[in-house]
């Protein structure tokens, strides 16, 4: 008998959420990748869609990606955000490992009893973070691209933070993070190519070409951190005891 295929689904809230090195390492670890895009390019300006959800309980791992929306904006995206909160609670309580990235980490904080709110300032670019478990989440630098922040869910284990906000936590078999381990130059260029993408970055005082140059120079070591993070997640977090909410 052949080895059973392991399946991971990436929940992508927009059409430019490629997984970069995270995709690559899941594939190396023998996972078949499925993608579920909630807001496609056609609906980008009217994102309050009502998607037909796949059976998340049929997957071995669920990865919740970033988004250009707020994880608390029920009025703007509630048609899919509120069902997603409920579905992800069910996934978590079933013991299916979850990796939440940026919006995904914020959404999982909300699911697990934490809060999400507007941050005092945006965080765009490459930043080192303070880690209490560098074997799981090293200091980086990691790529940041957010205007919101989450709180550590009650009962979670703090993994990393910086002076602005929490950066990573573990709760049972869920790993939530604020930074983007999936970023590489290709993914960054997809984000910048979105309507208003360059202007959005430049409005925060970031020089786009400097950002691209820094991303290119850090790509090899950042990719390796992404590979290692997937390994640590699968080997440690995904096998931890189930902690329900």
Q: Which residue has the tokens 């984000």?
A: 191
CA 71 – CA 26 distance, rounded (Å): 26
Q: State the number of CA atoms in the 13 A half-sphere of 61 facing the CB.
A: 30
Stretch (H or E) spanning 177: strand 174-177
Spatial separation of the C-alpha atoms in residues 113 and 32, rounded to whole Å: 31
Annotated active-site positions, please? 102, 180, 182
Query: What 8-state DSSP symbol labels residue 62?
Result: E
Rounded CA-CA distance 10/20 in Å is 12
Q: Which two tokens stand for residue 11?
A: 């929940």
The span from the CA of 130 to the CA of 125, in Å, is: 16
CB 77 within 8 A of CB 69: yes
């Amino acid at each position: 008998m052949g080895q059973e295929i392991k399946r991971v689904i990436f929940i992508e809230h927009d059409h430019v959420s490629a997984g970069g090195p995270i995709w690559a390492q899941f594939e190396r670890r023998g996972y078949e990748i499925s993608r579920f895009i909630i807001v496609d390019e056609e609906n980008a300006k009217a994102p309050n869609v009502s998607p037909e959800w796949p059976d998340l309980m049929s997957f071995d791992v669920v990865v919740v990606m970033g988004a250009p929306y707020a994880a608390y904006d029920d009025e703007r995206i509630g048609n899919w955000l509120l069902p997603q909160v409920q579905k992800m609670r069910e996934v978590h309580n079933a013991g299916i490992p979850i990796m939440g990235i940026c919006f995904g980490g914020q959404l999982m904080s909300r699911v697990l009893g934490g809060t999400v709110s507007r941050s005092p300032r945006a965080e765009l670019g490459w930043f080192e973070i303070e880690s209490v478990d560098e074997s799981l989440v090293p200091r980086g630098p990691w790529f940041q691209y957010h205007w919101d922040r989450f709180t550590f869910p009650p009962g979670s284990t703090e993994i990393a933070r910086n002076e602005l906000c929490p950066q990573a936590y573990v709760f049972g078999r869920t790993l939530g993070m604020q930074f983007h381990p999936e970023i590489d130059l290709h993914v960054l260029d997809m984000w910048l190519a979105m309507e208003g993408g360059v202007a959005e970055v430049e409005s925060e005082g970031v020089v786009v070409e400097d950002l691209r140059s820094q991303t290119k120079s850090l790509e090899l070591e950042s990719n390796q951190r992404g590979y290692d993070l997937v390994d640590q997640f699968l080997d440690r977090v995904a096998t931890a005891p189930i902690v329900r909410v």
